Amino acid sequence: MEMLVKLQSMIKGYLQRVKFKALKHQYNIKKAKYFTSAEGKETVGTLPYSKLVATHASFRYQSGATYEGEWLGGLRHGTGVMTWSEGT
């Protein structure tokens, strides 16, 4: 019985990987990222986020995502919480 459960788990995992690869190919995704390059560029050069010392602030991206946490040089740095528009 235990062997059957392991086999089912392996098959389900394989099918999920195949499905994920097909979706990546369908939408032409080369490399997964936490945020798009457009989102990354939104904060570069924007005060207070562009300071060269660690700063704690929140930012709302045009996509609806929000980040509350530490910044350094216009990039998220250190500890913080990212919340995407769909709630994750």
What pLDDT, on the 0 to 100 scale, is given for residue 62?
85
Give the pLDDT of residue 81.
Answer: 92
> Bigger pLDDT: 3 or 25?
3
Q: Higher confidence at residue 34 or residue 85?
A: 85
Residues 6+ apart with CB under 8 A from 64: 84, 85
16: Cβ contacts below 8 Å, ≥ 6 apart: none
Strand partners, 68: 58, 81
For residue 27, the model assigns a pLDDT of: 58
Total-model pTM: 0.51
Distant-in-sequence, close-in-space partners of 45: CB < 8 Å, separation ≥ 6: 74
- Select the more confidently predicted residue: 30 or 41: 41
